[in-house]
Structure 1
Amino acid sequence: MQNIHYVFVSLLGGLIVPLQLAMIHAFRSTSGASQIQSTFFLYVGGAIASLIIALFIDGSIKPPTYQQTSWWMWLSGLLGAFYILCMFLAAPHIGITNTLLWVFLGQMIFATVMDSSGFLGLQVKKLDGFKLLGLGLIFIGGLIMIYSENRNAIS
């Protein structure tokens, strides 16, 4: 596998998400901020970190060429805020593990649709039985985790 280092970068990104959920829960619990306010402060911190990293890597911030973009390309931040908010709302009630499992399944289902259709200009990736089997196994894993949690709650 020639791109193995990207697998590890992706794994690192995945390790950060549960940590982020726990940290924002602690922030919300101790700061008195609401869920949506906590999300706002998370994004302020992310914007500052992105600015510092961009300045370090690129040396400056260059304005985008607005004329070459479409309106929907600017909605990514809105989608990111909604994504984070959904996780922050769910995690205190169903736990970080279950939240991330169902978020992951949602991501995989939509990513599969996007890849197989070439959505938003992506290169088309063929959908096959193995990919569908993988999605099914993730779903079954989610059901097992829900069953396990409910079984433990009853006993």
Structure 2
Amino acid sequence: MAYLLAILAGILNMLQSGSNATLAQKLNVGPVVPALITYSGGILAVLVASPWIGRSLDGLGRNAATVPWWGWIGGLMASVYVVATLTVAKGMGAGVFTAITLTAAIITSLVLDHYGLMGFEVRQISTWRVVGGLLMVAGVGLIARF
């Protein structure tokens, strides 16, 4: 089930890029309003889904004190992705945009796993993981060029 959810998230992430880019292009008001619309839709979706995915707010204050600083900035980081989809994705094309963002994510994930950063369990880097990352970089070049 976890793998299916990850596949769905990847598909929806790319579809989101096209949706966001079209919204920004058609509204033609810059990236701020489309970004607010995008996040409003996300908030609404989480609220609607909360009976099935949520948990009680009991202990929120107590638990909040245990969250490291980087645990609070996920939305800020996600906003960079949303702004990119609003401003550059359509000009690059879906293939190039996805190749670049996915390759950057893969290389970052290798570092996060190797050092166990940001709460990830340590998964030592291996020659094959490095080769995979390099193949991703080569793939970006091929997709961007042809």
Give me the TM-score of the superposition, normalised by structure 1.
Answer: 0.82
**Equivalent position to 2:39, from 34, 40, 43:** 43
Query: How much identity, in percent, do the aligned residues show?
Result: 19
Larger radius of gyration: 1
1:8 corresponding residue in structure 2: 4
Counterpart of 2:118 in structure 1 is 120
Q: Which structure has more RCO (C-alpha within 8 Å, separation ≥ 6)?
A: 2
Which range moved further: 122-131 or 59-68? 59-68
Match of residue 137 from structure 1 = 135
Structure 2 Cα separation of the partners of residues 79 and 64 of structure 1: 23
Partners of 2:100 and 2:17 lie apart in 1 by 14
Q: Verify the 8 A CA contact 1:98 1:145 in the aligned structure 2.
A: yes
**Matched residue type, 1:49:** A
Residue type at the aligned position of 2:79: A
Aligned residue pairs: how many?
144
Q: Deviations over 1:88-131 (max 9, x none)?
A: 32212211110011000110011100000011232110111111
Which runs of no fewer than 5 residues in structure 1 stay unpaired? 149-155
- Structure 2 length-normalised TM: 0.87
For 2:19, which of 9, 20, 23 is the aligned residue? 23
| AA in 2 matched with 1:125 | R
Alignment of 1:39-118 (within 5 A): 39-58=35-54, 64-65=60-61, 66-118=64-116
1:144 Cα deviation after fit: 1.0
CA RMSD between the two structures: 2.0
Corresponding letter in the other structure for 2:42: G
Gaps of 5+ in 2: none
Give the Cα–Cα distance (whole angstroms) in 2 for the partners of residues 8 and 140 of structure 1: 27
